[in-house]
Chain A
Amino acid sequence: MCDTCGCNVTQGNRHLIEAGGKHEHTHDGKVAVEVLENLLSENDHQAGHNRQHFGNHGVLAVNLMSSPGSGKTSLLEATIDALNQEFRIAVIVGDLETENDAERIRSKGISAVQITTGTACHLDAHMVHSALHQLNLDDLDIVFVENVGNLVCPASFDLGQHLNVTLLSVTEGDDKPAKYPVIFRAADAILISKSDLLPYLDDFKPERAEQAIRHLASEAPVLNLSARNSSTLDNWLTWLRKAFTIQDARRAAGETTKPKIQPEGEKLHAHG
């Protein structure tokens, strides 16, 4: 969404502010100021700044979102093992408490900044900005943001990342995309994790999960993998390499991208 170009006025709501519309007039001589600003504009402003910062340093920023325990940290460990020679990687980790996940990442010899949010259920752009002060982006190619484990709130806050990845572990149920549509719609890629457990779970069908995702009008790739089995990671690593190449080309052309903007939205957001 956009604060400045008016594209927040859609065909579905335009009638409300047009002549004769519900909000054209106000009562009792009071002044109504039409604003049409995004409620999260402070966050979005900071997010844009973060994205520019990543872009200026040639870094691809990927936000990982999922339920607690779906395997984000294990996926990162496996990804770091696979790509450590190819890319310079760092991780920003969000949790309510503890440094546990950051320590797991650091034991791989990788920089990891832990953000403990206290009671906050998501990361926001200001928290990520503070974490960036602890990383030297000149020495990095990819920064993963491991968001707070939560299938609801993280989807509502832009952090300044380029891409969103949502994990769905096979122990969670294949109807999760139908139950938590916002976070699955926001994903540029969806990873069905812990696929090594599929033989033990007769009620999770990857094809049913994918069907629920398609019902959300998502065209995002759905990839099955297990962090415990490196041979299943190929599609994910290929996706990530391609994402890095695309972002590098965008940066060279002086452009950037926001996560999951549909083609028409991209045109409208040509300035963003």
Chain B
Amino acid sequence: MHELAVCQAMLEQVAGIAAREQASEVTRIIVRIGPLSGVVPELLEQAFTIARSGTIANQAELITEATGIRVRCSQCGAETDAGITRMICGKCGDYRTQLLSGDELLLASVELNRAEQAVE
């Protein structure tokens, strides 16, 4: 439901990066989204087609990458894959686990053309 707001925040960051890198255009944006982030990749992609209009990322492609959920058990020490509603230790079944990955919401990479490169 809030993916458009997230997308606008992302594009503001991308615009800042593009300005810092003296880019003439942004061609590709890669974001990394964990299942526990509260953001739905498909909805973010839909929002992106609307939100990119009139920005330096107007022609950009958005790639969303899903990360998996991994937990470390604070009792037996095992690191195992987990599910969104089953985050207990995959080995001993204890619920006292720490999240290793799965809640990421990251702007991982921005691909751009630099103005001076276009001249060269």
Contacts and interface: CB of A to CB of B under 8 A. Distances in A.
Interface in B10-48: 10, 12-13, 17, 21, 23, 27-28, 30-32, 36-39
Contacts of A263: 98
A23 B36 contact: no
A253 interface: no
Contact of A217 (B6, B21, B30, B87): B87
A13 B9 contact: no
A180 B108 CA distance: 26
Contacts of A36: 106-108
A23 B102 contact: no
A26 B111 contact: yes
Nearest to B97: A217
A11 B109 contact: no
Contacts of B12: 42
A30 B111 contact: yes
A30 B72 CA distance: 38
A39 B9 contact: yes
Contacts of B103: 1
A35 B108 contact: yes
Interface stretch (A87-95, A139-147, A151-159, A232-240): A151-159
A178 B86 CA distance: 8
Interface string B48-92: 000000000000000001011011100000010010111110000
Given A23-B30, A23-B109, A215-B88, A33 B21 contact: yes
A155 B103 CA distance: 12
Chain B interface extent, by class:
35 or more
B117 A39 contact: no
Contact of B101 (A13, A155, A217): A13
A194 interface: no
A157 to B, nearest CB: 8
Contacts of B85: 178, 181, 212, 215-216
Contacts of A270: none
A11 B79 contact: yes
Given A40-B6, A156-B2, A215-B86, A182 B38 contact: yes
A152 B38 contact: yes
A217 B107 CA distance: 27
Contacts of A152: 1, 38
A1 B105 contact: yes
Given A11-B79, A13-B104, A217-B88, A30 B5 contact: no
A41 B9 contact: yes
B21 to A, nearest CB: 6
Nearest to A213: B95
Contacts of B101: 10-13
Nearest to A23: B109
B9 A42 contact: yes
A23 B108 contact: yes
Closest 7 CB pairs of A and B: A12-B101, A156-B38, A217-B87, A10-B101, A214-B95, A217-B97, A153-B2
12 contacts: A13-B32, A23-B30, A33-B110, A34-B108, A39-B6, A39-B10, A43-B9, A153-B38, A156-B2, A157-B2, A217-B98, A264-B72
